[in-house]
Structure 1
Amino acid sequence: MPATSTSPLGLRLETARAAARLSRRQLHELSGVSPSMIQKIGNGERRPSDQVLAALAGVLGTTSEELLGGPGRTDSRVHQAIPDLQQAIASYDLPEDGPVRPLSQIAVEVAAAVEDRVQSQYVRLSEQMPALLAELFRAVDRSCGREREEAARLLALAVRSADAVAYKYGYRDLSGRLVELMRWAAGIAADPALDAAAAYVRMEVFFAAGQLGPGLRSLRGALDRMPAPRTERLAAAAAALHMRAAVTAGRMRRGDDARAHLREAERLARRVQERLYDGTAVGPDSLEIHRLSVAVELGEENDLHEAVATAARWAPPRDLAAERRSHYYIDLSRAQVQLGRPQHAADSLLVARQIAPQHVREHGQVRTSLATMVRLTRGRDERMLALARWAKAV
């Protein structure tokens, strides 16, 4: 398995050096920075001065800021639409006057937004969500009884689609606000399956903050609050929570807990057909995809070999949502990187990109994997280097 530095700066420096195909000696000769200093920075033993960092960045064709904080964001139109989304949710409980269509008409647009989300059409989502959310805030504000509950249900699903944009494109504070809005709307809808969906999405906040322990407790608390899964929708909601808990426990290197949650997810997934339930894909195929995710998170070599071998016999069906399918190949590439197979990992990422390019390009784990792959191949694989540059991993 590839060796790693404990320093993010050291990893970025080594990635940029590999991409430039320079040895440490060549970097020293071109930058004037001593070989011992370059080695200490790469190993995470020293933090360079501004002058040293600027000298290294200049030779490597990057900037001091990118070495310190990582490559800049992509140039997607999503970033241009974020201010409108922020403005749309600022006064969610005090909406401006405006038209509200019948809920049956709004529901069609919400369903289209959910489909855009699971098919990773983030640009279109970002441009359409502000107006849809504003209308749904008005619908919740003006209605009562069962109609208000239905408006809130639609709002929760729409907010989840907006959150996918914010989370994937790195707007963590905005994502956190949207998650809380989804929980607020789910509470008004008084729907336990929707509450479970909100708890599933809330895990993003814990992932972003690195708070895995509280996140796992949150998922288990949501499972404890759920009624008995007597309907297909409730069984799917519980299965989704168990799948996410399994991945979380795996990331914490708690193998027994991860496998226990996978077993519960399997028991429940057998009872449902593979489809979207409140915006989450659940079913036997989604369960197989989560098995791979858990193996990658646990990082145990035997499990990784078994997962990669399984991938040679099984692939996600083409009718599965693009985001879910592409995530499978992203995780497969992570497994292959951990096993020291960068060329196979690149093959997997190219498949993922073909399925859902917007999803792959903005995925943090893709950038991490690509940076590792560039270091493993010392920047000599042109196909891999092009992929890394496309994803802003270098």
Structure 2
Amino acid sequence: MGQHVGRAVASERKIAGLSQHQLATRAQYSLSLVKAVEQGREVASPGFIAAVSKALGVEPDRLRGTPYVGTLEEDGPLEGLAELRAVLAEGAYVQALEPPGQSQLVTQLAEVEKALHNDKTRRALAMLPTLIRQLHGAVQEGNSGAEQVRAYEMLCAAYIAAEGACCRLGYSSLTALVLDRLDWAASHTDDPGYAVRSLMKRSRLLMSHGSTEVAMSLVDRGLTLLPGRNEGERALRGYGHLRGAIVAARGRRLDIAQEHIEHARRIAKPMTHESDLYTTDFGPGNVEIHACAVELEAGDPGKAATYGATLRLPADMAAPRAGHHWQDNARAWLMAGKPDKALAALNKARVVAPQQTRLHPSVRETLHGIAAAQRRQTDSLIGFASWLGSSL
């Protein structure tokens, strides 16, 4: 199979002039794990990648090899990417377009959010640049304070969607620019929810760079902005606790991570659905998915695998969220020494969210691990690798 993260780690380590022992010390991981990842005997977890990239002074995407340009090109040109780059480069001087009526803007935004919910990220990306320019036009043409504030709120939602699209397609280097624009737009609304969404999304970005302490401070800051007086604020508080759980787990603080999960469970308990408010996808199902993720990152991978396999995901759960769960479940099964069950979980991810599964770095890492663990290459493994665009 093509290069896995371990080979990239070994290459970058040698360029930096570090021994395996020196890298392990800097990244605060064991020497045995560094050796195992470099040799392809262990899967590089997101936490490991973040710590090692920080220790080596390289972008995490450099180690992961993202974006997977070859895979993206198989489905044709990635419409909207060049134009979104231009919008972000223009920054505060973005060239606005004359907007259609507000009802049409609302419809277009809903189409973008629906596409992301249904794992149609390429479609969302194609629509976003024009929509963002039109929303800037709506901000400039707002005839009243209320109209302008509403335009800013929709602009916030469009930037939130853009951040999600960039992450899923592997262009995470663009997310800092998106979040800067989101911060600016959120400062012009009367709704603290958009500022909170920005804080939580930035905490995810910081987490990928190994800055878990700063990431947790942003989570704490966001939670203080939300007293939880209405359904939207409660969904955001729950979402914030789930982000806090993952940040704490990534920092290997299982106790704090589990406290956040319990807070989220209490908020989700009376809910009968997964909320689409602020596109948080917060609800009882998402809480249990995160409980499994916490165990995988900082607790017991065997427990994460077993419990995760029994979850019945709600029908209204966003497809990429469900797909991400089965990707994590596959990694948990692999860490528990069950490569066959890991491959079965990857196939579940493929069914529920094919676009995301083909492009998520953890899928390729897990597939490398399965190939290394299995004594022979099964037809199902070869078939999945072929679909993914990798060779065994």
Q: TM-score, normalised by structure 1?
A: 0.78
The question of 1:391 aligning with 2:388 is answered yes
Cα distance between partner residues in 1 of 2:330 and 2:193:
33
Query: What pairs up with 1:55-74 in 2 under 5 angstroms?
Result: 70=65, 72-73=68-69, 74=71
Partner of 1:266: 265
| Corresponding letter in the other structure for 2:385 | A
> Which residue of 342, 350, 356 maps to 1:353?
350
Cα distance between partner residues in 2 of 1:90 and 1:208:
23
- 8 Å CA contact retained: 1:353, 1:360: yes
Specify the structure having the higher radius of gyration (Cα): 1
Cα distance between partner residues in 1 of 2:5 and 2:117:
35
Cα distance between partner residues in 1 of 2:279 and 2:82:
25
**1:229-282 deviation line (CA, Å, top 9, x unaligned):** 111110110110100110111122111110111111112222444221101101
Query: What pairs up with 1:278-317 in 2 under 5 angstroms?
Result: 278-298=278-298, 300-301=299-300, 304-317=301-314
- 8 Å CA contact retained: 2:5, 2:63: no
Cα distance between partner residues in 1 of 2:257 and 2:116:
27
> Which residue of 300, 317, 322 maps to 1:325?
322
- 8 Å CA contact retained: 2:235, 2:275: no
Partner of 2:211: 211
| Corresponding letter in the other structure for 2:353 | A
How far residue 228 of structure 1 moved from its aligned partner, in angstroms, is 1.3
Partner of 2:186: 186
Mark the CA change 1:6 to 1:254 in structure 2 (over 3 Å): closer, same or farther. Answer: farther
- 8 Å CA contact retained: 1:367, 1:392: no
How far residue 7 of structure 1 moved from its aligned partner, in angstroms, is 5.9
Mark the CA change 1:117 to 1:43 in structure 2 (over 3 Å): closer, same or farther. Answer: closer
**1:352-374 deviation line (CA, Å, top 9, x unaligned):** 11111111111111122112112
Mark the CA change 1:181 to 1:271 in structure 2 (over 3 Å): closer, same or farther. Answer: farther
Unaligned runs of 5+ in 2: 13-34, 41-61
Moved more, 384-393 or 268-277: 384-393
Moved more, 234-243 or 213-222: 213-222
Cα distance between partner residues in 2 of 1:338 and 1:100:
51
Mark the CA change 1:43 to 1:341 in structure 2 (over 3 Å): closer, same or farther. Answer: closer
Secondary structure of 2:281's partner? strand
Query: What pairs up with 1:108-147 in 2 under 5 angstroms?
Result: 108-143=107-142, 144-147=144-147
How far residue 100 of structure 1 moved from its aligned partner, in angstroms, is 1.1
Unaligned runs of 5+ in 1: 13-38, 45-66
> Which residue of 351, 359, 366 maps to 2:363?
366
| Corresponding letter in the other structure for 2:174 | L
Cα distance between partner residues in 1 of 2:6 and 2:99:
53
Mark the CA change 1:97 to 1:340 in structure 2 (over 3 Å): closer, same or farther. Answer: closer
Partner of 1:84: 83
Cα distance between partner residues in 2 of 1:271 and 1:81:
40
Identical amino acids, percent of aligned pairs = 25
Partner of 2:161: 161
How far residue 91 of structure 1 moved from its aligned partner, in angstroms, is 2.9
Secondary structure of 2:276's partner? strand
Q: TM-score, normalised by structure 2?
A: 0.79
CA-based RMSD: 2.9
| Aligned length, in residue pairs | 339
Moved more, 373-382 or 163-172: 373-382
Cα distance between partner residues in 2 of 1:262 and 1:80:
38
The question of 1:244 aligning with 2:243 is answered yes
